[in-house]
Amino acid sequence: MRQSAFSRLADWSAERPWLWSFVGAGLIFLATTAFTSGKGGGDVLTAALTFATFYVIVGIGQMFVITTGPGNVDLSIPANIALAGAVAMKVMDGSNAMIVPGLAAVAAVGLAIGCFNFALIRILSIPPIIATLSASFLVQSTAIAYGRGLRIKPPPIFAELATGRVLGVPILAIIAILVAAAMALVLRRTVYGRSVLAIGQNARAAGLAGIRVARVRFATYVLSAVFASFCGALLAGFSGGASLNMGEEFLLASIAVVVIGGTSVAGGFSNVPGIWGASLFLYLLVTMLNTFGVGAGVRLILTGLIIIAVIALSGGRRPGRG
């Protein structure tokens, strides 16, 4: 029997769960611009591209961690962002000549946090959620001791990189698109990426197949931490300096953009383009509620309910356990 057009559409969309994040973002954008009679639509879109970039950067790292299987998640991201931003600004010290050493220091921060996270998980056999949450307290304490009272502006070139535009498109968005494309290739075309997917589908089978599960998971937690650290540096450059609370919103967002974007919470299946759609969706959702004049308390409740609903609808896919 020939399938109906509706059935074919349902099957096609089921294989592309990330598509709904872009559809949702588009509908929210249309609702917002319709409410304002089209005024400021371009500015809203530019702002969405800019702020979505930060969600994308941390989301890619979190996606790799979640893909390695149930229970794997990095909750140290907010503290990591705060510490990395402070380190970047202090090392750069407002000098263009110190941008490269500053970024090297940021990479070192990410490497150290990733190693510490995995040491807690592997050596002490602490569940990843507890391990990374515990690590976040230590990292945040370090950020407070190191960055308290820090009032250093980013170097002019670094600030221009974080806030500049090319043909109206934010430079950061262009960089994030290129990074996302590269990480999509890593996920699908490299031994490491395929190992991450295999471990998420069945860690025991992956080990029997010769994949060094512990080594791959170690690399994945380091990758997530390094991405979060660079997000902290870029966020400090964009904001005109580092602050101790600038990573707070990324605890929920880093997980939400991954699941809304079509990655399975059970592991073994992930999608990089969906992170962009989910990031735009999250920012535009808050923008729409602000435009409609919704109060702060109601706005938070509605945002949470909508995110939960979308995650429930898009997170149902489960990888095979062959």
Q: What is the pLDDT of residues 107-124, one digit of tens each?
A: 999 999 999 999 999 999
Q: Is pLDDT at 25 greater than 50 in this prediction?
A: yes
Q: How confident is the model at residue 305 (pLDDT cuts 50, 70, 90)?
A: confident
What is the total count of domains within the chain? 1
pLDDT of 320 reads 43
Q: What is the mean pLDDT of the chain?
A: 85
Q: Assess if residue 2 is contained within a domain.
A: no
With H, G, I as helix, E, B as strand and everything else as coil, classify residue 166.
Answer: strand
Largest CA distance in the chain: 71
Q: Which domain holds residue 260?
A: 21-27+41-314
Q: Assess if residue 6 is contained within a domain.
A: no
Q: Assess if residue 321 is contained within a domain.
A: no
With H, G, I as helix, E, B as strand and everything else as coil, classify residue 117.
Answer: helix
Read off the pTM.
Answer: 0.87
Q: Assess if residue 231 is contained within a domain.
A: yes
Q: Is pLDDT at 68 greater than 50 in this prediction?
A: yes
- Domain harbouring 61, CATH code: 1.10.3470
Q: Assess if residue 320 is contained within a domain.
A: no
The predicted model gives 265-288 an average pLDDT of 85
Q: Assess if residue 4 is contained within a domain.
A: no
* Phi/psi of residue 170, nearest 5 degrees: -55, 135
Q: What is the pLDDT of residues 140-178, one digit of tens each?
A: 999 988 877 778 899 999 999 999 898 888 999 999 999
Residue 225 and residue 76 in contact, taking contact as beta carbons nearer than 8 Å = yes
pLDDT of 6 reads 52
Q: Assess if residue 1 is contained within a domain.
A: no
Q: How confident is the model at residue 1 (pLDDT cuts 50, 70, 90)?
A: very low
Q: Assess if residue 252 is contained within a domain.
A: yes
d(CA 30, CA 41): 9
Closest alpha carbon to 18 in 320, 255, 258, 291: 258
The predicted model gives 94-104 an average pLDDT of 94
Q: What is the pLDDT of residues 269-279, one digit of tens each?
A: 888 888 998 89
With H, G, I as helix, E, B as strand and everything else as coil, classify residue 270.
Answer: coil
d(CA 158, CA 15): 40
State the distance between the two ends of the chain, measured CA to CA, in whole angstroms: 30
Residue 102 and residue 91 in contact, taking contact as beta carbons nearer than 8 Å = yes
d(CA 200, CA 263): 11
